[in-house]
A and B are shown apart, each in its own frame.
Chain A
Amino acid sequence: GAVVSQHPSRVICKSGTSVKIECRSLDFQATTMFWYRQFPKKSLMLMATSNEGSKATYEQGVEKDKFLINHASLTLSTLTVTSAHPEDSSFYICSARVLGRDEQFFGPGTRLTVL
Chain B
Amino acid sequence: DQQVKQNSPSLSVQEGRISILNCDYTNSMFDYFLWYKKYPAEGPTFLISISSIKDKNEDGRFTVFLNKSAKHLSLHIVPSQPGDSAVYFCAAKWGAQKLVFGQGTRLTINP
Do A and B assemble together? no
Binding site for B on A (CB under 8 A): none
Binding site for A on B (CB under 8 A): none
